[in-house]
Amino acid sequence: MVRRGSIVAEPHNLGRGWTRFDFAAAFDVPVRVINDAAMQAIGSYRGGHMLFLGLGTGLGASLIIDGVVEPTEIGHMPYRHGRTFEDYLGERGRRRLGTQRWRRAVADVVKELATALEADYVVLGGGNAARIRKLPRGVRRGSNRNAFIGGVRLWRRGGGR
């Protein structure tokens, strides 16, 4: 979780030590810190209200409304049967459900979240997005390459710290 350019909580799927690490001092260059889902979302954005869902080890999610980026922790919210959205859409969920049932879960969650968050469109990114054969209406597939575009756009908005 990143807030105002600082890591405020240890990542759920990674090792510890991120919240105390001073990237600017370690690399001796200006830095901007943002999570991976938000970075790919920025690179995927084409205007309006966009929901980005990163299907990978976990579930990354960012919402961009009229150019304002809001990284979220939707993946850790309760969903069904005592499990979170990430428990269904992350890699553990795909293995538990099997790919066919996982695809249906992705379609259901996309529909529910797009409606609840009033998204004009949804972008599915992350490594497991390629496993979705038929994209639901209003959904397009992202690319991990969009994270590089997101990085350029992020720096064009202003300098680092």
pTM above 0.85, yes or no: yes
Task: Tell me if 119 sits within 8 A of 113, measured CB to CB.
Answer: yes
Query: Based on the number of CB atoms within 10 Å of its own CB, is 147 exposed (0-12), middle (13-18) or buried (19 or more)?
Result: buried
For 16, phi then psi, to 5°, come to -90, 170
We find that the CATH architecture of domain 2-156 is 2-Layer Sandwich (3.30)
Interacting residues of 148 by C-beta distance below 8 A, sequence separation 6+? 43
Are the C-beta atoms of 89 and 57 separated by less than 8 Å? Answer: no
Question: Residue 17 CA to chain centroid, in angstroms?
Answer: 21
Pair 123, 44: CB distance under 8 Å: yes
Digit-by-digit pLDDT tens for the chain (161 residues) are: 677 667 777 776 677 877 888 888 899 998 888 888 999 999 999 999 999 999 999 999 999 999 999 889 899 999 999 999 999 999 999 999 999 999 999 999 999 999 999 999 999 999 999 999 999 889 999 998 999 999 899 888 754 43
pLDDT attached to residue 160: 40
